[in-house]
Amino acid sequence: MTRHDEAFINPYTFVPFPSAGGVKAEPAGHDRLGPGHYSGRITVSGTARTAIMVRGSVENDEPVLPWHPGANGTRQAIVPGSGLAGAVRSLHETLAGGCLRVFDHEFLPTYRDMASRNSFDRLVMALVTEVDGKGRPLAMILCTDVVWTDAVDLQRVVRGPLHTGMVLDIDERDMTAIGTDWGRERVGIEAATPRSDPVEGAWLVLVADAGAREQDEVFRIALARLPDGPESVSVDDQAWTDYERCALDAEDMRQQRKDQGRLDALRLKEAGYSTGQALTELMKDVRWNDHDIGRRQLVRPWARPGTVLWVRRKDGEITDLRPAVLWRHSGQRPAGERVPESLRACRYPRDLCPSCRIFGSVDAQRREEDDKARQCSYAGHVRFTDLVAAKCAPTDGPVRPLAPLSSPRPGSGQFYLDNGNSVLPQRDNEVLREWGGSADSRQPRQLRGRKYYWSTRPAKQHPRRSDKRKHHSDEMVTSARVFEHQQRFDTTVCFDGLTLPELGGLLAALQPALLLTPASSHRDPAVCLPIGGGKPFGFGALETRLTLDRIDSAGSRYGEEEPPDVTIEQAVEQFRTSIPEEIRDTVWPALSAVLTLDHVDPDHVWYPPGASWSEHHTGRPEALERFDRGYEFWKMSRGQRMQGPGRPLVPLPDAAAGADQQYLKIVPAPKEKGAR
C-alpha cells in the first residue's frame, strides 16, 4: 500500500451483480388481501449523519429546501415522499436481486481519438447546404486541396477574427509551401480577403477547439478549396448514429442540455437562426497562448446549412462525420450485453422481480411509432409520505456554493468493467479501458455492478470536496441549501398486500441496519440509508429507526380477528431466508461496506487528485487547482501499450476487499511553467 499522503480513495465503488437476479413471479394483485398477505403502517424516524441535499425552489435568488404547509401558516421543510421512495426502492433492488429499473441497455460510451499517422487519411472538408427534418445532411459542398496554416499569422493577414465557415479569396501566388507532417500540407499565406459567399476556387476556413494543445505548439487551422457547387449525399446509417452519439457526449452539448432542455426543441430553435444569429449563438471563442484565435462551431448532434464537417466517403456514401480531425469514436458492445440477462428491467406484469412486485413496474422500453399501445404496468403496494424535518423551515441553514460535478463516465472501463487480471490489451493499437476491441471479441466484459458512493463524513478536509474552490468557473458552480448533520426526520409508510418475506424486504430497505452487519468496528458504525443528491460529496447518509405501528390480515382488517402477532425481526428473517445464497454471500458484504458510515477513511476520499495531500493542505490556490487536475491518473491507468513503459490498467478495488485495500496511488499532474 502506498503512503497515504500520496494515495486516495475513489468516492464511488460497485456492489457486484449476482450471476442471476431474484426469482421472478406473478404479483399478488390488488383485488383482495389474500391469505398470507398483510397490510399496515410503519413509522420511520431518521437522523442525518451527513448533510442531506434535496433540491427545492428558489426564493429571492436563493435556494430553499422543499416544503409543505404546516400548522398555523408555517412551512415545514421536507424530503419529498418520491425521494424516499426512490432511495428505498434502489436499495431493495440491490438487497433482493431486483431488476435494473433505471438502465439504458443501448448505452455506448465515446472516446477521444488519439493522434496517429492515419488520422488525416481520406478526410475531406465539407460545407453542409441542405438537411432533412432531423438535421441529417442531404447535400454538401465537398472541398478539395486541404492546407494548414498558422492561425495567428492568418489573423494578421485577414486583419480580423477568424471563424469556422469563413470564406477567403487567396491568390495562389500568396500561398507558400512550408512542408508536410503526418500528411498535412503546411503553408504560409501572405494575403487573403474575406468574402460573403462560397464560390468556386475560394477557401473555406475551419477553426477547431484549442483542446489539449501544448502552449509552445503552433496553432494551425485548416483551409480547403471550394469546388463549383453542392452535391446530394447519402450518409450511412451507422455513421450518422455514431456521429449523434459522439456529439451528445461533447462538452458543448452537455452544457446546452442543462440550459435548453429537450433536444428536439433546441434543434428546431437553432434551425430557424439567420446567418447572423448563427455566428453569434452557435459559435464559441477559441483562445490559445494569450491569443484570441477566432470562433469555432458549437458541436451539435445535427447539422444545419452552413455547418462545416470533416467527412470520409466510401463507394459514394458518407461513412464518417466529425467536427474535428481528432474527435471521438464510439465504443462497442452496448451496456445491455454487459449485465446478466436476468437483471434486465421487467416488462410483463405477470412476471416481475422481487422489487417490482412490491414497488410497481412500468414497461418503459422504446417501441416503434406504429406499435399499438398496450398496458404493461403494475401498481405498487407501498405508499410513501413526505419525510418531515423536525423544527426546520425551508430557509433554515446556510447556502453552500458547491464544487462542480461532471456527468458519470461509464466509459472509464478501468473502473466500470470487470477486466479480470488483464492490465494491457492484446494489440498495440487498442486501449483496454475502452468498450470493444479484442478484449470484448468473444464475450463482452461485464459491468462491475451497481454504483454506490462511500458513506463518509469528510471532517478533516479543508476545503471539503463539496466546497467551491477559487479555480472553479462560476458557470459550472451551483449553490444549494442542505439539511445539516443531526437533523431529525419523521414519516409514515403504508403497505398493502405484502407477504411476510416481502414486508421484511421493505423493512430492511427502510432500515438496512436490520439486515446488514456494520463493516467496521469503530466507535460509531452506523449502517445508513443513502438518500438525496450530492453523494459524490459525502452527502445523503440517513440513519433510520422503524416502528411497526399496525399490521393486519384480511380477518383483522375487515372482520373480528385479532391482528397477527408479527414482529419486525420475524419479517426481516423471513426476507433473509428467501434470498438466494449467492446474493447473501457476494452482494450483501459489499453493500454493508459502502453503507457503513466512515468504513473507509473519509479524509482520503476524493476523485483522482493531481497532487499529494500535503500540497492540498497548504490551501494555496495553485496547489488546490493542481490537486483537482486528475487527468494524469486517467491517462496513465487506461491500459495501453507504448513504445517505452506501458500504461497498465489500474482497476478499482473490490468494495468488500477491506478498508485498507481501497487506496489508489496519486499520479501527479505536470506542473505548469513557473509554478512552485
Provide DSSP, 29-75. Answer: -SS---TT-EEEEEEEEEEESS-BB---EEETTEEE--EEE-GGG-E
CA distance 322 to 242: 10
Q: Could you report the per-residue pLDDT of 151-174, keeping only the tens digit for each? A: 999 999 998 889 999 999 999 999
Residues 6+ apart with CB under 8 A from 522: 598
Cβ contact 593:599 at 8 Å: yes
- Rounded to whole angstroms, the Cα distance separating 168 from 226 reads 10
Backbone φ and ψ for 9, nearest 5 degrees, come out as -120, 125
Phi, psi of 111, deg, nearest 5? -135, 150
298 secondary structure, DSSP code: P
The amino acid present at 524, given as its one-letter code, is D
Would you say the C-alpha torsion 613, 618, 619, 624 has a positive or negative sign? negative
188/190 Cα distance (integer angstroms): 7
- The answer to whether 599 and 457 are in contact (CB under 8 A) is no
Residues in the chain: 676
Ramachandran sector of residue 538 (left: φ over 0; alpha: ψ -120 to 50; beta: rest): left
Question: Residue with C-alpha cell 470487470?
Answer: 418
Task: Give the pairing of strands 38-48 and 488-498.
Answer: antiparallel
pLDDT at position 260 over 80 = no
Average pLDDT over residues 256-266: 66
pLDDT in tens, 195-216: 989 999 999 999 998 875 655 5
Q: List pLDDT tens digits, range 645-663.
A: 889 999 999 999 999 999 9
φ/ψ of 57, rounded to 5, equals -115, -170
Closest CA to 502 of 45, 32, 28: 28
Nearest to 250 by CA among 333, 331, 322, 164: 322
Q: What is the pLDDT of residues 487-517, one digit of tens each?
A: 999 999 999 999 999 999 999 999 999 999 9
On the question of pLDDT at 461 being above 80, the answer is: no
Banded pLDDT at 21 (limits 50, 70, 90): very high
Residue among 583, 593, 439 nearest 17 (CA): 583
Q: Is 85 helix (H, G, I), strand (E, B) or coil?
A: helix
Candidate from 448-452, 520-524, 608-612 with smallest mean pLDDT:
520-524
CA dist., res. 472 & res. 235, Å (int): 40
Whether the per-residue pLDDT at 48 is higher than 50: the answer is yes
Whether the bond into 463 is cis, omega within 30 of 0: yes
pLDDT tens digits, 398-408: 888 999 988 88
pLDDT band at 1 (very low <50, low <70, confident <90, very high): very low
